[in-house]
Amino acid sequence: MASEKMTILQMLQDGKITADEATNLLTAIESGGSGGNATMNATPPIPPTLPRPPEPPMSGIPPIPPVPPMPHSSASASVNNSNNPPPHGYTEKPKSGVSVDFDEIGRKFAAFAKDLEPKIQKAVEFTAEKTVFAADKLSKTIETGVKNFEKGREERAAAASRAAAATTMSPAKPTMPTTKTGGTEQRIEMVVADGYNELNLSSLNGDVKIIGYNGDKISATIRYQANRSSATIDLMQLGNKYYLNYAEEDFKFVSIDAYVPSQKFHIVNIGGVNGNMDLLEISCSQIQISNTNGQTTLKQLSAQNINSDTSNGRLTISHIAANEAVFEHCNGAIEIDEADVEKFSITNFNGFISMVMSNFNNFGQYLWRIETSNAKLNLNLPTLPNLGYHLKAQSSLGDVRIGLTGLQSLVSEQGFVEAKTLAFDSKAKQVRLDLETSNAPLTVN
């Protein structure tokens, strides 16, 4: 009986019978007692189930190869490696010994994103602001053009209706017009009286060049092409106003080349469209400039106030002086060489600004705001013993480079710098600069 129990246990251990089958066999042996018929009454052992032989493959179809076992993960391989050796041909890659801390990477990325978020937000806000500025600029240009056209037509109509009764209104004495290839040329002269005078000259689809000189009369050459033979163009005086009188719808183009008294006018208003403009050597109280679709050059101007609105061309400013000056420009570079202006505002959209200064002469306090977008901003400023700077320079998505000597850094961050000259408050001349650009470097040397 003992040997039979051992045999049953051995068969169970070898997996030839199940635990239930082993229990049944052991129970049968125990109930049969120790007699000779015990072996006869015992349930015979159940032979192990043999594996089913593979079925022959179907004719013409090759047998499907067995699927190789999947490689174990590093965790399961470390536990079951002793009992489950890797399949034939599988070689476990050696561990590099470098552990990757994904939590740390996540924390660093989150910190980077947090630092970058306000910069992206500021760039988006700056771009949106400039887009609004450009739209306003375009709308303003169109509106100003329409208003100027209507105003000019109304003024010319009113002047014509008062021509017979207005004793103070008199046209200049022109020379006989000369017809040339592509248009007509006419020379006009008019003496300018002393007093509070205003000059208004506007070109149409042509250039305008005004040069001041030490004299008392306007000497102008007008070139034009008329749409009809009855069209007239004259330099007129109405009270203290001097202006070029013509109906714009009567002409294809009008260009002006004039010498004017440099100190006889209180207000000088020069306009142009689809042509270049040059305004040189004028001294007065107020200068107003408007030019669209052309280069604009302003040199040796002196005034209490200068207002300039230009677009779609290069703006060149050289040797100007003013108590206050406002320049708004769009789609073109601005180049400045010597601008002694107490309160200076320059705004440029889609164009770089370059400025060179050698001295600040006329004022003790200077307040400048210079701003451009999508282009570099470069200033070259003097370093003098009696001159102090307090500057704030900012570039969205661009570098700020400050090369002026003698400055104390107050704030230095990516894209923003604030600095002040040592002993700034004791300097005889103080210049406060507020500078800004985007998508390009900002440099002050």
Instruction: Tell whether the model's pLDDT for residue 363 goes beyond 90.
Output: yes
Type and span of the H or E element at 410: strand 407-413
DSSP string, 320-371: EEEEEEEEEEESS-EEEEEEEEEEEEEEEESS-EEEE-S---S-SEEEEEEE
Q: Could you give the CA distance from residue 170 to residue 185 in angstroms, rounded to a whole number?
A: 21
Instruction: Tell whether the model's pLDDT for residue 440 goes beyond 80.
Output: yes
Q: pLDDT for 319-345, tens place per residue? A: 999 999 999 999 999 999 999 999 999
DSSP string, 170-212: EE-EEPPPEEETTEEEEEEEEEPPSSS-EEEEE-BSS-EEEEE
Rounded to whole angstroms, what are the CA distances from 328 to 308, 350, 409, 441? 6, 12, 31, 21
Q: pLDDT for 32-72, tens place per residue? A: 654 444 343 444 454 554 455 555 554 444 555 554 555 44
Q: Does 78 or 240 have the greater pLDDT score?
A: 240
Q: How confident is the model at residue 235 (pLDDT cuts 50, 70, 90)?
A: very high
Q: pLDDT for 74-124, tens place per residue? A: 433 333 444 455 555 545 544 445 455 666 666 666 665 566 565 555 555
Instruction: Tell whether the model's pLDDT for residue 210 goes beyond 90.
Output: yes
pLDDT at 89: 52
Look up the pTM and report it: 0.66
Q: Does 374 or 102 have the greater pLDDT score?
A: 374
Q: Could you give the CA distance from residue 265 to residue 193 in angstroms, rounded to a whole number?
A: 10
pLDDT at 20: 82
Q: How confident is the model at residue 73 (pLDDT cuts 50, 70, 90)?
A: very low
Structural Rg of the chain based on CA atoms: 47
pLDDT at 61: 47
pLDDT at 75: 39
Q: Locate the domains of the chain by residue range.
A: 1-45, 285-445
Q: Does 227 or 76 have the greater pLDDT score?
A: 227
pLDDT at 159: 47
Q: Does 182 or 327 have the greater pLDDT score?
A: 327
Q: pLDDT for 141-175, tens place per residue? A: 555 555 555 555 555 455 445 444 444 455 655 55
Q: Could you give the CA distance from residue 320 to residue 340 in angstroms, rounded to a whole number?
A: 6
Of 7-21, 124-138, 384-398, the poorest mean pLDDT is in 124-138
- Give the CB-side neighbour count of residue 2, counting CA atoms within 13 A: 0
pLDDT at 312: 97
Q: How confident is the model at residue 367 (pLDDT cuts 50, 70, 90)?
A: very high
The contacts of residue 337 (CB under 8 Å, 6+ apart) are 317, 318, 319, 355, 356
